[in-house]
Chain A
Amino acid sequence: MSNGIAAVGDRGTVMIWRAIGAETVFCETKEETERAIRKLAKQDYAIIYITENCAKLIPDTIEKYKMSKTPAIIPIPGRDGKTGFSEEALHRVVEKAIGADILFKEENN
């Protein structure tokens, strides 16, 4: 099985991904982003990089694809830089698995 990668988000961030051969979709609103993700998932893209700004708009859709093998939806910093969305997502996953966020407390010490 051979699939591609895709990037979803605002034009300025995502445009450059074209140079390395990723499929790019520009979107700003919730509806646009949702439609883009659904379409890319149907087309068997293995990894979808999405800007944090867009990812924030569609938590339900991202949640839906979490348990399926593909696509992996990976947040990347967008136009406004890092918003802490991806860290938060990792914290949530750790909390779900271990019950407490012990991992990052240890590292802070």
Chain B
Amino acid sequence: MAKVNPTRMELTRLKKRRATAVRGHKLLKDKRDEMIRRFILLAQREQKLRIECDNGLAECAVRFADVGASMGQAAATEALIYPVNSAAISVGEQNIMSVRVPTFKVVQQASKISLSYSMATTPPELDDAVLQLSRLLNQLIELAETQKACEMLSDEIEKTRRRVNALEHVMIPELDQQIREITMKLDENERGTLSRLMKVKDMIQEDVG
């Protein structure tokens, strides 16, 4: 621990610092609590979306596997090789407790999906699979958004928690200790001065008497 000068000025300074630390601690703690609350909501949403997306994608994969089985993997690949749609996404920004997380929005309408292949040469399962996936697109994008938000928020929560703990368990006790030390030193000095004065007074009275 740093050695401090036992002066009144130092004491005032330390007391001010302690007040600031306590205030900062309270604010950070509130911030942490609110962030955790938001985070739990986001994580629950992510979990729900994740289940929906996984199920949807699994269904889609089964359908596409059927396509591959009925018309051959190569032909199925060929049907899709030329991209006719471009899934453009606009990236925005959202502020959750001063953590800047991205927001994603589909620019193109998902309902107006155009097919890159001829319906005559492909089985209907392929259409099903494509439509299924395009229906799922909005959820998939929301999943991406929530997952990213969760990741970034969890990092920030960890940082904030560390700051709260550092203030609570290191900085504030240290300041308390220093304040106590100075107060004790000052009191001791005062007692020393007082007894010296009494002694001097006694000596003077003896001289007079």
Contact A19 B158 (CB under 8 A): no
What distance in Å separates the Cβ of B146 from its nearest Cβ neighbour in chain A?
Answer: 10
The number of chain A residues with a CB under 8 A from chain B is 42
> Which of chain B's residues have a CB closer than 8 A to the CB of A109?
none
Contact A2 B90 (CB under 8 A): yes
Chain A CB within 8 A of B97 CB: no
> Which of chain A's residues have a CB closer than 8 A to the CB of B113?
19-20
Contact B50 A86 (CB under 8 A): yes
Contacts A20-B130, A20-B137, A67-B155 given; indicate if A72 touches B145 (C-beta within 8 A). yes
Query: Nearest CB to that of A79 among chain B residues?
Result: B61
Give CA–CA (A89, B192) in the complex, Å.
65
Contact A47 B46 (CB under 8 A): no
> Which of chain B's residues have a CB closer than 8 A to the CB of A96?
154-155, 157-158
> Which of chain A's residues have a CB closer than 8 A to the CB of B84?
21
Contacts A1-B90, A3-B91 given; indicate if A77 touches B64 (C-beta within 8 A). no
Contacts A82-B58, A97-B157, A97-B158 given; indicate if A20 touches B89 (C-beta within 8 A). no
Give CA–CA (A66, B101) in the complex, Å.
11
Contact A3 B151 (CB under 8 A): no
Chain A CB within 8 A of B153 CB: yes
Most buried by A among B47, B65, B102, B151: B151
Contact B57 A103 (CB under 8 A): no
Contact B87 A19 (CB under 8 A): no
Say which residue of A2, A66, A69 sits within 8 Å of B88 (CB atoms). Answer: A2
- The chain B residues found within 8 Å of chain A, CB to CB, are 36, 39-40, 43-44, 46-47, 50, 53-54, 57-58, 60-61, 64-65, 68, 73, 76-77, 80-81, 83-91, 93, 100-102, 104, 107-108, 110, 113, 115-116, 129-130, 133-134, 137, 140-141, 143-145, 147-148, 150-155, 157-158, 161
